[in-house]
């Protein structure tokens, strides 16, 4: 199986794999091209085509001008909402998960395995089982239809993943290291700060990427607990397609989709290795 690229069987492999790869790229290329075509041009032909004139203005309209339900500020406020929810929820859930993962992996205390088992069940419990309780909790504390409410939800729910990731990473820390630190009189926080945290960057990057992607892309909670100007960008995209169903604006809509997908795509491109590691770490459970 040496790389003789011109052997017939090798060429077949390259042909098949690149054909599938092209098919996989089509949706992305179509959206990029459409985001640069005018509505008239798309209406005359189809969604699939090369721009005759480059309509960069689609991005301006998508970012700051088009109207969703009476407000005409483009996708900008919703992108901001998503950022306001995603960034704090990612940071807080990762920090708490790191401490919790450290506690259950390196400190034994009564009931540690039990509570850790329950926490990981959160990976499997469908969101639908938590929708009504969250509604009531958010209403009772006055956080319904607020971004803070979404931060709280994503922080608490994210703990299942962040604790799992960190715990599985920290159990590999040699016990001798812990024992030596304790003999030196180091306590819970000092050991975390001095020994565990310096070893943590790889797992923290995986966790942050995982949390950011999931929270940014989340839709159900966004659409259930927020309305109008408070919605994250995923919910706004759906509202947008409903709002302009009468007068199709596929160029602008494609630009909006591109903008909304950009943060997670960037993270994927920049941190691909860690991204994949998170996927497989989540799968092994």
Partner 1 sequence: MTHTVAAETRTGRPVTFGILRRLPEHLAIWVPLLLSAGHLVSFALWTVWISFTPSTLVPVSGWVGLRNYTAVMATRNWQIAFDNLLLFGCGFVLLSLLTGLLLAVLLDQRIRGENVLRSIFLYPIALSFVVTGTVWSWLLNPGLGIQKLVNDIGWTSFRFDWLIDRDMAIWTIVIAAVWQSSGFAMALFLAGLRSVDADLIKAAQIDGAGPIRMYRRVILPTLWPITVTVVVIQLQFAITTFDLVRALTGGGPGLATQLPALVVYDLMFQRGLLARGAAAAVLMLLILLAVLLPYAGWRYLQRRQAAHA
Interactions with partner 1, residue window 111-140 (CB under 8 A): 115-116, 118-119, 121-122, 124-134, 136
**CB atoms closer than 10 angstroms to residue 64:** 13
Is 30 one of the binding residues for partner 1 (CB under 8 A)?
yes
Stretch that binds partner 1, among 57-65, 83-91, 141-149, 172-180 (CB under 8 A): 172-180
Residue with tokens 């990731």: 165
Is the torsion defined by CA of 163, 168, 171, 174 positive or negative?
A: negative
Counting every residue written for the chain, the total comes to 285
- CA nearest neighbour of 86 among 257, 253, 267, 244: 267
x/- map, 180-199, partner 1, by CB under 8 A: -------xxx----------
- CA nearest neighbour of 37 among 59, 5, 8: 59
Position among 144, 216, 231, 251 found at the interface with partner 1 (CB under 8 A): 216
Position among 14, 54, 56, 193 found at the interface with partner 1 (CB under 8 A): 14
Q: Which helix (H) or strand (E) holds 229?
A: none
Is 274 one of the binding residues for partner 1 (CB under 8 A)?
no
Q: Which helix (H) or strand (E) holds 99?
A: helix 76-106
Stretch that binds partner 1, among 30-38, 53-61, 62-70, 199-207 (CB under 8 A): 30-38
Position among 104, 150, 196, 204 found at the interface with partner 1 (CB under 8 A): 104
Q: How many whole angstroms separate alpha carbon 138 and alpha carbon 163?
A: 24
Site for partner 1 in 44-63 (CB under 8 A): 45-49
Position among 7, 20, 67, 72 found at the interface with partner 1 (CB under 8 A): 20
């Amino acid at each position: 199986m040496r790389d003789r690229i011109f052997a017939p069987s090798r060429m077949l492999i390259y042909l098949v794999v690149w054909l599938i790869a092209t098919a996989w790229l089509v949706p992305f290329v179509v959206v990029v091209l459409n985001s640069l075509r005018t509505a008239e041009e798309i209406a005359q032909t189809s969604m699939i085509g090369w721009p005759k004139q480059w309509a960069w203005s689609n991005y301006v309209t998508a970012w700051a001008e088009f109207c969703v339900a009476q407000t005409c500020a483009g996708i900008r406020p919703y992108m901001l909402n998503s950022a306001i929810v995603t960034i704090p929820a990612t940071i807080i859930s990762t920090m708490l998960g790191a401490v919790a993962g450290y506690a259950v992996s390196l400190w034994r205390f009564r009931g540690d395995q039990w509570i850790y088992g329950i926490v990981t069940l959160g990976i499997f419990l469908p969101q639908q089982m938590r929708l009504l309780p969250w509604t009531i909790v958010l209403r009772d504390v006055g956080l319904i239809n607020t971004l803070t409410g979404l931060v709280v939800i994503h922080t608490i729910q994210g703990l299942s993943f962040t604790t799992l990731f960190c715990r599985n990473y920290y159990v590999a820390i040699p016990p001798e290291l812990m024992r030596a630190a304790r003999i030196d009189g180091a306590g819970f926080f000092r050991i975390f700060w001095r020994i565990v945290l310096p070893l943590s960057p790889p797992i923290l990057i995986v966790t942050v990427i995982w949390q950011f992607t999931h929270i940014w892309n989340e839709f159900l909670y966004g659409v259930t607990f927020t309305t109008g100007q408070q919605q994250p960008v995923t919910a706004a995209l759906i509202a947008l397609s409903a709002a302009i169903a009468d007068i199709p604006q596929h160029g602008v809509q494609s630009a909006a989709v591109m903008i909304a997908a950009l943060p997670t795509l960037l993270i994927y491109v920049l941190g691909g290795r860690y991204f994949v590691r998170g996927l497989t770490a989540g799968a092994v459970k």
